[in-house]
Amino acid sequence: MSRVAVTAGWSIHPVIRGDGQASFLSGDAMIKPGKGSSRTSSRSHEVEAFGWLSAGSQQRISSGWRHSLLVHSIRTSLGTFCGIVVPAARGGAASGPFQLQRGNIGRALKLAYFRAIQFGTTERSESMPRGKKATSTAPMPVKSLEAWIWEAACSIRGAKDAAKYKDFILPLVFAKRLCDVFDDEISRIAAEVGSRDKAFQLVKRDKQLVRFYLPLQPEDPDLPVWSVIRTLADDIGEQLTTHLRAIADANPDLKGIIDRVDFNATTHGQRDLDDDRLSNLVEAISGKRLGLSDVEPDIIGRSYEYLIRKFAEDSGQSAGEFYTPAEVGFAIARMMNPQPGMDIYDPCCGSAGLLIKCQLVANQRHESANIRLFGQEGEPGTWAMANMNMIIHDMEGEIEIGDTFRNPKFHARGGLRQFDRVVANPMWNQSDFRERDYDADEYGRFDHGGYPGGNADWGWLQHIVASMNEKGRAAVVLDTGAASRGSGSNRGDKEKSVRQWFVEQDLVDAVIQLPENLFYNTPAAGLIFLLSKQKPKAARGRVLFVNAGRDFESGRAKNRLSTAGVDRLVETVEKRTSVDGYAAVVDQDAIAANDFNLLPTRYVLGGETVQHRPIDELLDELTELHRRAEAATQGVVAAVRSMTGTS
């Protein structure tokens, strides 16, 4: 008997090799049978055993929801033929070490494979036996889905008021996706067991057959699961809330996410969303299927983010708490260039847009990205939005809730956990944190830079540097004031002192000025600070400044960073070369000569944009100028008196 450890990842590849062995891959590393339970240092593993198929055939299992069916088949088959109990982890994946008897492994894997064929979760080679396969329809184009999803959102009271109801609309669209995918899973199981009624009974007994178990069954099992919600006629808000809470009770991973909104809530005796409007919303959302064969995760994900963006357009100041424009997010993800196996972190993740962009870019560039996503968000509604956004995209991430500044949730070896990449768009110019908050820190985040004064921008940057590993890189969006406050003043300035420390420690890799009016909480141009703990040799002691202020397209409510502008920006950062009127590579001595002012327009001539600066900052500068003028006047008067001998 040999002992192996299994970790089934978010995607699995069963491979049958020419030596007669069968392998199940999750990623690209492996654990081989041997004495004891041993594993490689990689985060994903392969289980090898004697197999049953001919040489050279290889099947690939799709990720996400579809993967859970195959994993459960393997687990069930191993139990049936080998007497093995495989523990179940999140999403039905097998986990933990267990004993594997070689005698029956071939039959177990064969049955599991045939079940996967019947569920339609594998792509078969022509030599493989054929079974029933689920039919599919042409996926919905992204533009038509975006138009539909916004039209559904506007069904409450029109586009003008749609953003007011985002806390009702987003969970309901999310629930529709869950219901339609659950329907697909029930139908695949029904193809094996003979009917949807039997499939419902089977899934109720063993919830690990599906990624998310929904305790919703129509009286007629052949009707869609969503029909349970669509046919609500009386007390719609109360019954809908009850159904969504039941879903959360059956799926701990959805607790606080799908069940946090009370669709029956009232304010001063008046329903926040009455049953008539709620019924209209449910009916509008019922207009299209959102199942696995109807819409790919990337498409429904983009449409969900489109809906979030539309809400942001009408949310004013609060929009900055949950949304970073998609074009800025993709620019950041491309500049961060996430590699397979990396851990990526956002300490103030909002709706998780930056993390999702990193995953999407990694998926585009690598066949097996295998990156891990981590985020923290302090606002409960936005935290729920982030989790829904991740699941809609068919991604997995660890999103914690809480105040990152005062209570960071990711720890390792008694300190902060460190990551390969950090991306963030914290709230700009926060004044919520006092010097005592910095002094009370238990993680050494502010031991070197220190308290930056009334604005927390450089406090966030210190947290981010402390969260980067020895080769870590980061991209952080901040207000332009963070680059210049305190420079040019004779008075000691705490924020400038922290900025000086960052420059002298060679942590600032690049500073990029974006166009005006991109962000939904301000018309001002933002900056992207690129940080690095291990710059390439040629970049050491230098900072790249980029002024991308002209690279935008005008929109109805906001400007957008143009596609050509994103391409130009990413190429410039990768090459790190000066471009007349656009980019300049500047050494630390020149930055010191400018009193550690990090505004790109200070170093890049041409293409300058109007800078919007905080009123209190302007008043401070005016006061300082007035003081200097008075001092100069007194000096002139004293000189004249000295020359004329008058007192």
Q: What is the pLDDT of residue 120?
A: 42
How many angstroms separate the CA atoms of 619 and 292, rounded?
57
Identify the DSSP state of 132.
Answer: -
What six digits make up the tokens of 580?
């007349």
d(CA 178, CA 388): 10
DSSP helix/strand/coil, 274: coil
CB 184, CB 292: distance < 8 Å? yes
Top-confidence residue, 233 or 30: 233
The alpha-helical segments, DSSP class H, found in 94-155 are 105-119, 142-153
Q: Which stretch of 52-66, 280-294, 390-404, 514-528 has the lowest confidence by average pLDDT? A: 52-66
Least confident of 43-47, 139-143, 521-525: 43-47
Whether 123 has a pLDDT exceeding 60, the answer reads no
Q: Are the C-beta atoms of 308 and 324 separated by less than 8 Å?
A: no
CATH number of 318-613: 3.40.50.150
Phi-psi region of 638 (alpha: psi -120 to 50; beta: other; left: phi over 0): alpha
**If you ran DSSP here, which 8-state letter would residue 552 be given?**
E
- Mean per-residue pLDDT for 297-322? 69
Q: Which residues contact 150 (CB under 8 A, 6 or more apart)?
A: 159, 162, 306, 307, 310
Question: Whole-angstrom distance between the N-terminal and C-terminal Cα of the chain?
Answer: 107
How far is the C-alpha of 359 from the C-alpha of 226, rounded, in Å?
30
pLDDT tens for residues 351-377? 899 999 999 999 999 988 889 999 999
Q: What is the mean pLDDT of residues 492-511?
A: 92
Query: Tokens in use for 345?
Result: 């972190």
We find that the CATH architecture of domain 142-302 is Up-down Bundle (1.20)
Partners of 423 in the β-ladder: 475
Per-residue pLDDT at 148: 84
Contact in structure between 183 and 226 (CB atoms under 8 Å): yes
What confidence tens digit (pLDDT) does each residue in 405-436 have?
999 999 998 899 999 999 999 988 887 888 88
Lowest mean pLDDT among 26-30, 368-372, 447-451, 515-519: 26-30
Residue 311 parent element (H or E):
helix 297-313
Distance CA 298, CA 394 (A): 8
Can you read off the two tokens belonging to residue 85? 């109990």
**Local confidence band at 383 (pLDDT 50, 70, 90 cut-offs):** very high
DSSP bridge partners of 519: none
- Position 92 scores a pLDDT of 38
pLDDT higher than 80, residue 339: yes
- What confidence score (pLDDT) does residue 470 get? 96
CA 537/CA 541 separation, integer angstroms: 9
Distances (CA, A) of 331 to 305, 334, 354, 458: 16, 5, 10, 22
Residue 27 has pLDDT above 50, yes or no: no
Arithmetic mean of pLDDT, 263-292: 92
Helix axes 494-504 and 457-466, enclosed angle (nearest 10): 30
- Other C-beta atoms closer than 10 Å to the C-beta of 293 total 17
3 state DSSP class of 251? coil
Q: At 269, list the tokens.
A: 């005796």
User: Distance between CA 631 and CA 622 in Å, rounded?
Assistant: 14
pLDDT at 608 over 90: no
Which of the residue ranges 1-15, 473-487, 509-523 has the most confident prediction, judged by mean pLDDT? 473-487
Q: How confident is the model at residue 138 (pLDDT cuts 50, 70, 90)?
A: low
Q: What is the pLDDT of residue 612?
A: 56
DSSP-based three-state secondary structure for 329 = helix
Question: Which range among 162-171, 581-590, 628-637 has the greatest average pLDDT?
Answer: 581-590
Which residue(s) pair with 34 in the sheet?
Answer: 3
The position carrying tokens 């109360």 is: 238
Do strands 343-346 and 270-271 pair parallel, antiparallel, or not at all (unpaired)? unpaired
Instruction: Return the top range by mean pLDDT from 147-161, 174-188, 595-609.
Output: 174-188
